[in-house]
Chain A
Amino acid sequence: MTHQQRRSFIKMSLGTLGTLCIPMMPRSLWAAANSAEPHFYFQVYFSGGLDSTYLFDARPLALTQANVIQNYLGEDPQEWLGTNGTKCLATRLVNPLKPYRDQFSVLNGVVMATGFDGHDQNLNFLLTGDPFGGESFVPHLNRLSSVAPTPLDALIQGYYYANITNSGTTVPLTPDAAQRLTERLKKSEPLSSGSPLYNFILERMSMNAQGYGAFSNGAHAMQRSYSQAPAIAKMLMSLPQPAPVPSPAPPVAVDVSFLKTCMQLFKQGVTRSAIFIPTTNFDTHDATSARGQPSTIGQAAETLAAIFKILSETSFDDHRSFLDVTTVMAASEFGRTLRQRGVAIDATGTDHNSLTNSIIIGGKGIRGGQVFGETDQRTTGETLSKAHLRFDGQSLSMMGRPFDFATGLPRVDLPETYKPEDYLGMASVANSIYSLFGVSSAHYRKLARNGANAPLVPGLLR
């Protein structure tokens, strides 16, 4: 077994700045090949464990004054009311997202991999359902959905480490690399399907794809890809020249040129999904980086708002924007602790907390304006469940409250033990996305080994 087959870590690099214009295009090649509804997926991954108490899971200053939770914003949050009857506390850092509140919903208190608090394990868990890694759900949205798959599963820009075994057609095609490819294609011998040479090459791939075994499978993958290559080459050659980079260049955190490239390639039927990883790392163990969170997390919110803005303002066709045809999810791999033990509240960093995560999800198929889930540790002296204390004996963390899947509301009981079916977990979020993309329930994540499928988040989907 090759090294690649044992473990496949993805580490991608950040592309350079650039902007691409998205002209109104005629009926796309995608539409010509797919009579089904267009549906794309855009994932934003905030690396390192973004502290959701600076966005939609905030705490009043009184808790800071009681030395329970650090708060370097130094302001009381405001109520953020969900249309489904659940509310949360949000800081002013979410203000850039307010114009789009009907387009997305907030999921708080999403419990991640309770037995693991490492970055890799929880990112593996987010993407694959297994802290040791496996198949990511993102390529499944292309390969296992109910519509014909696009040649590439996803584009990706940014760094992350995850053990993904189905990442082969998740391609780090940055805007400037795509532009260089366009230029080279225009200068080189065209890929002409139907020419004797093309047919001969395809035939050799096909002949070698006969039979069984890794080599035959690889030849089959080549054959399948080569059969799409002329059309893709033609699409890539039609990418427009990028607009000049504005001066001064925008901060990297709000660079959305990758999104614009993705929209081009979504529309051309080259790829189904994209994964965008801003450069900022949110792993704030030390006080210095923790104090910088109002700025860094503020930028994260601005980036997300910019993504919603561009998607909603860019036409996909005569009557739809890209947000109408794209599901967007933004998440980190876990949340953070309230503080660090034995450190002054105004000089503390925070540590990993896999007992809660906050997810923002919106766009196509999502009923926006809602809030799902809630975390505990909201008042001083709050009684925590034994299920919580089992994982966090020192009460340094907040944990997602148990969740009522019948009503979609957080429960008020205090479970003695942790049972996955009592909590809103990543499995339910993933299955909800699967459901949106028509992935068969046979592929859904389970609550436990050999257990039932995790239920969908009730009321989240339109």
Chain B
Amino acid sequence: MLLVSASLPVSAHALEYGASSGFKGFPVIKRVLSERWLGDAMTLDLAIYLGEGGGYYSSSGLTSLLGSYEGSGGSLNSTFSNGEPNVVALVLWHVIFSELAVDLASTCTSNGKHYTRAASVPVRDSLTAALKPICNWPAASARSDETLLGLWLELMSFDAPEEEYEAWRDFFKGPAYAGATYTQVVSAMVLAAYSNPHFLLRK
């Protein structure tokens, strides 16, 4: 396998370090998903998926590589670090969202409340309800625009413009996942949504 290194010439893109959106950062993503999946004042401990979490925090931990504020909270000396997109961060996000997707995909086999490994409280009823039709994948009802839009809004809210939803919808209605299992498609849907620049990057 060849290493696909940065193949672009040294261009304006490469040199405009100060003119590039960085990641929102781990604390923001964690807060957004916590509110979106669990509700107010609840915490989705995403660090669990990296073998950390459970109250563990270290500035040498893996989550610190995803964009975070160093220094004590509220301190004037707090600074945002590790926010520029880089390959290690994307590998880490892939691990987190893959594991989160696995938890979400098990909705189809759970009766009643659905739990993830990252929280002691169940996910919102609205998210569970949006996932349930997908459990019939690849039936027509699971692939309907209404079902897909419902799930997209639960996952992404209005973080991304409509064309991103349309691209996501059309991809999953296409041949690539025509014969997939519901587990495969739910996992892929979560990964595809949360790997989108509109979700991970600051605007």
A205 touches B197 (CB 8 A): yes
Report the bound CA distance from A9 to B71 in whole Å: 11
Report the bound CA distance from A320 to B52 in whole Å: 38
Select which of A135, A207, A231, A236 is within 8 A of B2 by beta carbon.
Answer: A231
Binds A, one of B30-38, B84-92, B109-117, B130-138: B84-92
CB-contacts of A1-26 with B (<8 A): 1-5, 7-16
Select which of B3, B17, B51 is within 8 A of A168 by beta carbon.
Answer: B17
A169 touches B86 (CB 8 A): yes
Can you list, as one digit per residue, whether each of A223-237 has a CB less than 8 Å from chain B (1) or not (0)?
011111101111010
B50 touches A184 (CB 8 A): yes
- Is residue B62 within 8 Å, beta carbon to beta carbon, of the partner chain? yes
Chain B residues whose C-beta falls within 8 Å of the C-beta of A150 in the assembled complex: 5
B197 touches A218 (CB 8 A): yes
CB-contacts of B166-203 with A (<8 A): 167-168, 171, 176-177, 187-188, 191-192, 195-198, 200-203
Q: A168-B22, A180-B51, A189-B98 are in contact. Are A173 and B79 (CB under 8 A)?
A: no
Can you list, as one digit per residue, whether each of B97-140 has a CB less than 8 Å from chain A (1) or not (0)?
01101100000000000000000000000000000000000000
- Is residue B80 within 8 Å, beta carbon to beta carbon, of the partner chain? yes
20 pairs, CB–CB < 8 Å, chain A vs chain B = A9-B79, A16-B60, A34-B5, A144-B10, A148-B5, A151-B86, A165-B17, A172-B60, A174-B60, A183-B51, A197-B191, A204-B167, A204-B195, A205-B196, A209-B197, A214-B19, A214-B21, A221-B86, A228-B4, A233-B91
Report the bound CA distance from A334 to B3 in whole Å: 39
A225 touches B20 (CB 8 A): no
A interface secondary structure, majority:
helix
Report the bound CA distance from A8 to B82 in whole Å: 9
- Is residue A201 within 8 Å, beta carbon to beta carbon, of the partner chain? yes
CB-contacts of B44-61 with A (<8 A): 49-52, 58-61
Can you list, as one digit per residue, whether each of B158-170 has a CB less than 8 Å from chain A (1) or not (0)?
0000001001100
A8 touches B13 (CB 8 A): no
A152 touches B87 (CB 8 A): yes
Q: Chain A residue with minimal CB distance to B94?
A: A191
Minimum distance in angstroms from B26 CB to a CB of chain A: 14
Interface residues, chain A, with chain B CB atoms under 8 Å away:
1-5, 7-16, 29-30, 32-34, 135, 143-144, 148-152, 165-169, 171-174, 176-177, 180-181, 183-185, 188-189, 191, 193, 196-197, 200-201, 203-205, 207-209, 214-215, 217-222, 224-229, 231-234, 236, 269
Interface residues, chain B, with chain A CB atoms under 8 Å away:
1-8, 10, 13-14, 16-22, 49-52, 58-62, 64-65, 70-71, 79-92, 94-95, 98-99, 101-102, 164, 167-168, 171, 176-177, 187-188, 191-192, 195-198, 200-203
Report the bound CA distance from A183 to B81 in whole Å: 25
Chain B residues whose C-beta falls within 8 Å of the C-beta of A166 in the assembled complex: 17
Minimum distance in angstroms from B87 CB to a CB of chain A: 4
Report the bound CA distance from A166 to B14 in whole Å: 10
A215 touches B197 (CB 8 A): yes
Q: Chain A residue with minimal CB distance to B5?
A: A148
B8 touches A224 (CB 8 A): yes
Chain A residues whose C-beta falls within 8 Å of the C-beta of B164 in the assembled complex: 204
Report the bound CA distance from A193 to B191 in whole Å: 14
A204 touches B81 (CB 8 A): no
Q: Chain B residue with minimal CB distance to A179?
A: B51
Chain A residues whose C-beta falls within 8 Å of the C-beta of B187 in the assembled complex: 189
Q: A188-B49, A231-B2 are in contact. List 13 more A-B contacts (CB 8 A).
A: A2-B22, A3-B80, A8-B80, A29-B1, A135-B17, A169-B86, A176-B60, A181-B91, A208-B197, A219-B197, A221-B86, A226-B90, A231-B4
Report the bound CA distance from A325 to B137 in whole Å: 54
Q: Chain A residue with minimal CB distance to B170?
A: A200
Q: A148-B5, A172-B60, A228-B3 are in contact. Are A217 and B88 (CB under 8 A)?
A: no
Report the bound CA distance from A4 to B20 in whole Å: 10
Select which of A10, A149, A184 is within 8 A of B49 by beta carbon.
Answer: A184
Select which of B71, B177, B202 is within 8 A of A2 by beta carbon.
Answer: B202
Select which of B80, B88, B203 is within 8 A of A215 by beta carbon.
Answer: B203
A11 touches B81 (CB 8 A): yes
A5 touches B192 (CB 8 A): no
Minimum distance in angstroms from B168 CB to a CB of chain A: 8
Chain A residues whose C-beta falls within 8 Å of the C-beta of B92 in the assembled complex: 181
Select which of A3, A143, A225 is within 8 A of B79 by beta carbon.
Answer: A3
A215 touches B201 (CB 8 A): yes
Q: A171-B65, A184-B49, A229-B87 are in contact. Are A13 and B59 (CB under 8 A)?
A: yes
Q: A30-B3, A151-B6 are in contact. Are A208 and B198 (CB under 8 A)?
A: yes
Chain B residues whose C-beta falls within 8 Å of the C-beta of A207 in the assembled complex: 167
Report the bound CA distance from A167 to B5 in whole Å: 18
Chain B residues whose C-beta falls within 8 Å of the C-beta of A169 in the assembled complex: 84, 86-87
Q: A201-B195, A224-B8 are in contact. Are A232 and B81 (CB under 8 A)?
A: no
Q: Chain B residue with minimal CB distance to A164?
A: B17
Report the bound CA distance from A332 to B155 in whole Å: 49
Minimum distance in angstroms from B145 CB to a CB of chain A: 18
Q: A149-B6, A221-B84 are in contact. Are A11 and B71 (CB under 8 A)?
A: yes
Report the bound CA distance from A150 to B171 in whole Å: 32
Report the bound CA distance from A9 to B82 in whole Å: 10
Report the bound CA distance from A206 to B50 in whole Å: 27
Chain B residues whose C-beta falls within 8 Å of the C-beta of A218 in the assembled complex: 20-22, 85, 197, 201-202
Report the bound CA distance from A177 to B61 in whole Å: 6
Q: A215-B201, A217-B19, A220-B13 are in contact. Are A172 and B64 (CB under 8 A)?
A: yes
Report the bound CA distance from A215 to B201 in whole Å: 7
Report the bound CA distance from A55 to B189 in whole Å: 60
Q: A181-B50, A184-B51, A228-B4 are in contact. Are A13 and B90 (CB under 8 A)?
A: no
Q: Chain A residue with minimal CB distance to B185?
A: A197
A221 touches B191 (CB 8 A): no
A200 touches B171 (CB 8 A): yes
Most chain A beta carbons < 10 A, residue from B49, B81, B177, B203: B81
